[in-house]
Amino acid sequence: MKPILHNIIPTPKCGDEPFKTNDKSLGFILNDFWRWNVSDLLNNLTRGHLAEFIVAKALDAAKGVRSEWATFDLETPDGIKVEVKSAAYLQSWPQDDYSSIQFSVRKTKALDWEKGGYRGKPKRHADVYVFALLAYKKENAIKDKKTVNPLDLNQWKFYVLPTIVLNKRKRSQHSITLKSLQDLTQTVTFAKLADSVRQVFKQTTRHRN
């Protein structure tokens, strides 16, 4: 019988942990890897993780270490399950124009943490979706690419939608455009994001009851 190789629960790192060989430091540290690997904040993958972190900080849900394999992205201290999706007008690669905005809302299977693999029917596992748009676009694309800053939260817009609304949509169940999203909800700022998530969740709970 094959042994069960359970998941490893990561612990937060400080950044000053050294790379070693034969227990001897090689003169470079974990923070050097972070700097090399994730300094391009406009990269789609890095921007998506950054958006999750921004939303997590707004919701006081940034404890511990981000899980790559969770069935939803975040859980608030009061138990609201949140999925975060991100998009941006400006990318790190050469562009002919601003990117058109749409967000993936695909249903997924849950990872079986005991046996491995994915189980069950595809579904949306979160209670609430937060769509984070790096919305910086105000003068011209060339000038904007020189001044876009994903760390400036004034350059972001957030849209909050209960999962039940996505499940009831008659249109695509795989993605949602910005126009469709704007027809369903209003934009909120970073400062109002936590209140909006709680309010949307309460409305969803009342609707279910």
Q: Give residue 2's pLDDT.
A: 65
Name the more confident of 205 and 192.
192
60-116 pLDDT, tens per residue?
A: 999 999 988 889 999 999 999 999 999 999 999 999 999 999 999 999 998 877 666
User: Which residue range(s) make up the domain with 112?
Assistant: 40-208
Q: Is the pLDDT of residue 175 over 60?
A: yes
Q: Is the pLDDT of residue 6 over 90?
A: no
Q: Is residue 124 part of a domain?
A: yes
The domain total for the chain is 1
Give me the mean pLDDT over the 20-41 stretch. Answer: 97
Q: Give residue 104's pLDDT.
A: 95
Q: Is the pLDDT of residue 194 over 90?
A: yes
Give the integer Cα–Cα distance in Å for 197 and 207. Answer: 15
Q: Is residue 66 part of a domain?
A: yes
Q: Is residue 134 part of a domain?
A: yes
Q: Is residue 10 part of a domain?
A: no
96-111 pLDDT, tens per residue?
A: 999 999 999 999 998 8
Q: Is residue 160 part of a domain?
A: yes
Q: Is residue 191 part of a domain?
A: yes
Tell me the H-state helices in 138-189: 141-147, 163-168, 178-184
Check the CA dihedral 23-28-31-34 and report its sign: negative
Q: Is the pLDDT of residue 209 over 60?
A: no
Q: Is residue 25 part of a domain?
A: no
Q: Is the pLDDT of residue 31 over 90?
A: yes
Q: Is residue 135 part of a domain?
A: yes
